[in-house]
Amino acid sequence: MTEGDGIRLERLTMLPDRGAALAGLEEIFFASTTRTAFASAAERAAFLATWTGWFVAEAPRDVWIAMADDGQVVGYLTGCKDSAGSVELARRIPKYEVFADRFAAYPAHFHVNVRPGWREHGLGRRLIDRFAGDCRAEGLPGVHLVTAVFARNVGFYQRAGFTDACQRGPLLFLGRHLDT
């Protein structure tokens, strides 16, 4: 799959039907998270809000939606360009502060998920490169993500240029410089 294969990447703010885009994002979020059991619908909604709510409400320009020709949402990225300054986000996300000393070198961070069935077609890489390009254009020196030490996605991120690794407990920080 290449740029011409009918998948387009759009900022959430550019989509006419934001509700449909967010419904697709929610489906992919729950298809991708390792947590599957929830005591109630309210607890499930709160879990979604913890991980995506700040991005959608406060940084919708940095929410990238990958959309197929037929309008199906097939992947998304939620980005934050100022990890140190996003106090409300830090309040919501568990363990946010663990790598705070690295935020100066890598101010931006993101979460990315691709719909099952659409993985390994280059979409995750495209979403990341789009957000990273945006950050570079704004002069940011680096972008990072936090994953689990033993997560399957570690090799994927390293091959995508996130080579500055730092392990603390079960968490792995991976940073990519944007100056080259």
Ligand X SMILES: CC(C)(COP(=O)(O)OP(=O)(O)OC[C@H]1O[C@@H](n2cnc3c(N)ncnc32)[C@H](O)[C@@H]1OP(=O)(O)O)[C@@H](O)C(=O)NCCC(=O)NCCS
Half-sphere exposure (CA, 13 Å, Cβ side) for 54? 17
Instruction: Report the distance separating Cα 77 and Cα 62, nearest Å.
Output: 8
**One of 121, 130, 136, 177 touching ligand X (CB under 6 A):** 121
**One of 4, 117, 155, 169 touching ligand X (CB under 6 A):** 155
Q: Which stretch binds ligand X (CB under 6 A): 37-45, 83-91, 114-122, 164-172?
A: 114-122
Cα torsion angle, 11, 35, 162, 126, sign: negative
Check residue 174 for interaction with ligand X (CB under 6 A): no
**One of 120, 137, 179, 180 touching ligand X (CB under 6 A):** 120
User: Is 52 in a helix, a strand, or coil?
Assistant: helix
Q: What is the CA radius of gyration of the chain?
A: 16
Q: CB of residue 144 vs ligand X: minimum separation in angstroms?
A: 11
Q: Where on the chain is the footprint of ligand X (CB under 6 A)?
A: 1, 32, 112-114, 119-125, 145, 147, 153, 155-156, 159
